Amino acid sequence: MSIQHAIWKVGDKPTALTTSRLASEQLLEEMIVTDPRILSNEWMLIGRQERTTHGGCIDLLAIAPDGSLVLIELKRDRTPRETIAQALDYASWIEELTSEK
């Protein structure tokens, strides 16, 4: 079952904006790096394509105002099970990080 969503431009009359599909995850990553406020105006990006000791590569890594690390993994065409497994793998790597890393 797919998830439906809509974005509206609110003015004199609400207008639904048309959706389009991004060509690649890399394009979305570039957009977020250019303006991280797309995700949050409180996060500061501190890493991009970060290699883990688990053999993976985290798309983006940010830090929140409270000092917690924020894992940002961009997906376009993967199944939910694969995505969750990958995120858990990366989160376990982040949990092992020390302040020197």
In the prediction, which pLDDT does 83 show? 82
In the prediction, which pLDDT does 29 show? 94
In the prediction, which pLDDT does 36 show? 94
In the prediction, which pLDDT does 2 show? 66
What's the pTM? 0.72
Count of CB atoms situated within 10 Å of the CB of 22: 12
45 in Cβ contact with 33 (< 8 Å):
yes
In the prediction, which pLDDT does 100 show? 65
In the prediction, which pLDDT does 97 show? 79
DSSP H/E element including 39: none
**Residue ranges in the chain modelled with pLDDT below 50:** none
In the prediction, which pLDDT does 19 show? 79
